[in-house]
Chains A and B, each alone.
Chain A
Amino acid sequence: MLTDLVERVRALVFGRRWSRDLSDEMRFHVDQDVAARVRAGADPATARREALLAFGGVERFQEETRDSTGVRPLQDLTADVRFALRSLRRNPGFTATATGVLAIAIGATAAVFCVVHAVLLADLPYPHPDRLVRIYNQNSPTNIWSLSVVDVQALREDHRSFDTFGALRFASFALSGAGEPEQLRGARVSSGFFSGLGVHAEFGRLTSPSDEASGAPPVVVVTDDFARSHFGTAPGAVGKTLNLDGVPSSIVGVLPRGVDDLAGFRSPVWASLKLPIPTRRGPFGYVGIARLKPGVTPAEAGQELRALAGRVFTQWQASFQDQNARYSAFELQRTIIGDSDRQLTLFAGAVVLVLLVAIANVATLMLVRGTARAHELAVRATLGASRPRLARLVIAECLVLTAGATVAGLGLAALAVRGIGSIAPDLPRADAIAVDLPTILVAIGVGIGAGLLISISPVAGVLRGSLAEWKSDARRSGGTREAHTIRGILVAAEFALAVPLLLAAALLGSSFLRLQEVDPGYNPDRGFSIALNLPASRYPDSLSVVAFWRNAMTRVTETPGVLAAGLTTSPPPDNGGDVNNFNLLAHPVANGRAEPVAPWPIVSPGFFKALDLSLLEGRLITDADTGATSPVIVVSRSWANHYFPNEPVIGQRLISGGCTTCPADVVVGVVGDVKYEGLAGSGEGVYTPFVLNGVIRNATLIVRTSASPESFMKPVTEALRGLDPQIPLAATPLRRGLRQALADPGRWTSILGAFAVTALGLSAIGIFGLMSYVVRRQRREIGVRLALGAEPRRIAGMIVGRGMRYVAAGTLVGLGLALLEARWIGALLYGVAPRDPTIILSVTVLLVGAALVACLLPGIRAARIRPLEAIAAD
């Protein structure tokens, strides 16, 4: 077995030397035989003749011996590949173009597949990921929200469908004690969170239920990355103490290297979660993750959860009246992917279109070249090459071409994927993305598929065309009628595929432009913000907290150049979904229906001036609004128009947060809109005063400056540092927040735009190549026409007209495809209708214009043909 393999490999690898050795050996044999016969008395000439006769044909036995090595098929393959390489090398222009086009298409396909696979298709990196669910509150098919302390406690204590249940709460930690104070975005988690996911500690231990008791010393688990950057080594971090929010917390464990996010939440520090004693059903904000028992479906778990929600509802009815609210279990995978899938599906679709256009393009090139090669094939056939053999040569050539393109494409994909972190920082699990084995296999599969597709029509030509036809093809114009039709269809198909791509890119682009023009409601060039978090350890009661905010406001407003300053719990333009539910006393929602929600910033009186919001009606919130018996709210214009289109809004009352025992809020003023739900959001908002909302330790300070904000950030930061040197302070110009809100749609648009431009370029090249070929082929005929008095302009018109027929057919089909796509893409657009006639028209004009230019060049060349030369040639 082994010797067999060794012999085969030797014959294969040292093919040329092996053959030489064999003929040496046989020559030696014959010479030896001759010598023996001469010794026996024969004359040398007769001896040689007899020796050769006795041997029985050197050539024949060399072939037979070669067959016995068992590597014949492989040797044939290498011969084919060698032939293909030679043939491709003879046409460097064609080879470079085709390889480049295919490399870009295969590379883009591989890169998009890689991302889609890593984000959408790959399982979560936990054991039995299909059993992991996230639990939400849900009161309608579309309205889901997170859990409260009450919910977490109920789910933790009363579950039969789960193996484990764990909870998480986002936290912002002020890390101090070592150098510059640092603000960490992290999470507090219960031990069930770790055990449910099935993660383990690389060093030390994870948190345990005993750490969650109210008196237990605070402990944290950190990532390997955090441990290395703060303590040098991962094992060395265990046992060390971190000062988080002024509370010394000991590190009990370090997560394995590379585990930077758990269940889609990224955090360097995972503190043990201690639940406060609930006084009402809300507030919400806890993430519940459960591992279902084997064999239990999320729907079955939902049944049990429904009953549990009913019991919780009865117990806490006083502070929460939404009887429809139920616990629902959603597959964790789905909740992590979120809305990335629509965008990624869009890209997957786009890249497939680009790939198809590229294949059609190269197939056209191949056909044009194929006709030119008909002569060569005809010669080979005359010399005795069988048709299957010729077909094999053609296929080998296509496959060699796509193999090169696949390798180059994978290189491009690796580059693109490495940059994915900067292209799409918010993509879930972006760090897990790399060109992996499935991606390589897919690229190879795509390459082979492309190679076979490209070879279909030349192979069909080889197998079916007659020898005579090939020869005449080579000499006369146009090629076979059939080949011509195929070329036309391929070029039309390129246009048909390019239309939906261009339209999608144009729609996204124009949606992006509209988004840029959106007025966020404030001047982003004249202000900055600082997120402030007061640790409970040093600000234990409302007295110390209120004192800090008051002193801070005084110090900041006294800083030269500061025009106004205010605090808000919900910084625009994207507050991350900080909304509250409410019920209008004038128009209460029907029993059993979900209450409406709106962004609900809690603000200090200075806030309105800090953002320079104009007062439209009534009055603003002032320092005097401390009356808890009749709390006041200020609403935005959009909110007022939405809920009170035909009534005065001032004086209207509402119940907020489902608290029926609380006094109703009274609308006292209307201000201009500010975008809180992203730039595409509505501009609705309800402002409630800082002083009436208990102890607020986390808020964003917004400072309005007389000029560009950068020069004022340092004095303001220093003024605050004088108040408390331990609080982390990072000032951000308001315009940066706005830029971030635009960054994602901008990136998506440019990627799709690049795909669309590629497709447009390929289509134009396709029609240009085809028409140039037609002109070259019909040179003589055109020459005759010109000689007979045809106007050059008409000749050009004829060529352009013929080319535009394909373009028109392709574009029409493409528009049909685009209309199908339109409904689907609508959800990704802002301020643009998916069938916006202007955009459809512009895309068509652009495409047809590009095609016109591409046809005009060969047309002009046709018109300039010199009749005599053309006729005389050949």
Chain B
Amino acid sequence: MADLLPGTLEVLVLKALSLEPMHGWGIGHRIDQLSKDVFNVRQGSLYPALQRMLRKGWIRSEWRTSEAGRRARYYLLTAAGKKQLQAETAVWQRASAAIDGILRLRMAD
């Protein structure tokens, strides 16, 4: 298990929400699943991040009834959020390709 790189949590949340609207626990659960438990996400730290993203306008929220019949707050990706996800994805892919290349070079040494 590794700590998250700074700024990664938001990308992961955006990615999770790009599949479907979810409540907080769902988002955490989905990130765990997707990352195959590689990252150690403190579930509680999701909420300050969600609040920041609300303010940035990447996501919006609404109260719905959960599968279990309880009142729950669901988060949805906005158009700005989708754009943000694309941009972040592109950056990540370029960066990881570069890092990948560098690491490969070292191995060859």
Contact = CB atoms under 8 A, between A and B. Distances in A.
B89 interface: no
B82 interface: no
B43 A55 contact: yes
A3 B54 contact: yes
A35 B26 CA distance: 13
Interface in B46-101: 47-52, 54-57, 60, 66, 68, 70-73
A427 to B, nearest CB: 54
Contacts of A616: none
Given A56-B45, A64-B45, A68-B48, A28 B55 contact: no
A179 interface: no
A7 B54 contact: yes
Given A24-B71, A28-B23, A65 B57 contact: no
Contact of A22 (B29, B47, B66, B70): B47
Interface in A35-92: 35-36, 54-58, 60-62, 64-65, 67-70
B24 interface: yes
A804 B33 CA distance: 84
A56 B42 contact: yes
Given A7-B55, A70-B55, A65 B48 contact: yes
A579 B48 CA distance: 85
B25 A54 contact: no
B72 A25 contact: yes
Given A25-B72, A28-B23, A64-B48, A54 B56 contact: no
Contacts of B50: 65
B6 to A, nearest CB: 15
A54 B57 contact: no
A26 B72 contact: no
B57 to A, nearest CB: 4
Nearest to B32: A54
Main secondary structure of the interface of B (DSSP, over half): helix
A2 B48 CA distance: 19
A866 interface: no
A68 B71 CA distance: 23
B47 A35 contact: no
B44 A36 contact: no
A69 B44 CA distance: 16
A25 B24 contact: yes
Contacts of A67: 48
B29 A28 contact: no
A61 B48 contact: yes
Contacts, number: 81
Nearest to A61: B44
B44 A56 contact: yes
B9 to A, nearest CB: 13
A392 interface: no
A56 B28 CA distance: 13
Contacts of B72: 25, 28
Interface residues of B, number: 27
A29 interface: yes
Interface string A9-28: 00000000000011011101
Contacts of A54: 42-43
Nearest to B52: A68
Main secondary structure of the interface of A (DSSP, over half): helix
B56 A4 contact: yes
Nearest to B41: A54
Contacts of B55: 3-4, 7-8, 68-70
Nearest to B24: A29
Given A4-B56, A36-B29, A26 B47 contact: yes
B106 to A, nearest CB: 36
Given A54-B43, A65-B47, A65-B48, A28 B54 contact: no
A29 B48 contact: no
Nearest to B40: A54
A684 to B, nearest CB: 82
A36 B54 CA distance: 27
A61 B57 CA distance: 21
A26 B44 contact: yes
A8 B28 CA distance: 25
Contacts of B25: 28-29, 32-33
B29 to A, nearest CB: 7
A114 to B, nearest CB: 43
Contact of B57 (A4, A25, A28, A58): A4
Given A65-B51, A69-B55, A57 B70 contact: no
A874 B60 CA distance: 61
A3 B52 CA distance: 11
Interface string B11-33: 00000000000011110110000
B42 A55 contact: yes
A8 B26 CA distance: 25
A520 to B, nearest CB: 78
A241 to B, nearest CB: 69
Contacts of A69: 51, 55
A57 B66 CA distance: 24
Given A3-B54, A28-B72, A55 B48 contact: no
B43 A29 contact: yes
Contacts of A35: 68
Nearest to B78: A3
A3 B68 contact: no
A61 B73 CA distance: 16
A141 B71 CA distance: 87
Nearest to A10: B54
Nearest to A36: B29
A28 B70 contact: yes
Interface string A728-745: 000000000000000000
Contact of A3 (B26, B45, B56, B70): B56
Contacts of A55: 42-44
Contacts of B56: 3-4
Contacts of B48: 61, 64-65, 67-68
10 smallest A-B Cβ distances: which pairs?
Answer: A61-B44, A3-B57, A68-B51, A56-B42, A32-B25, A64-B48, A56-B44, A29-B25, A55-B43, A68-B48
14 contacts: A2-B57, A7-B54, A7-B55, A25-B24, A28-B66, A29-B24, A29-B28, A32-B25, A33-B43, A55-B42, A56-B42, A64-B48, A68-B49, A69-B55
Interface of B: 23-26, 28-29, 42-45, 47-52, 54-57, 60, 66, 68, 70-73
Interface of A: 2-4, 7-8, 21-22, 24-26, 28-29, 31-33, 35-36, 54-58, 60-62, 64-65, 67-70
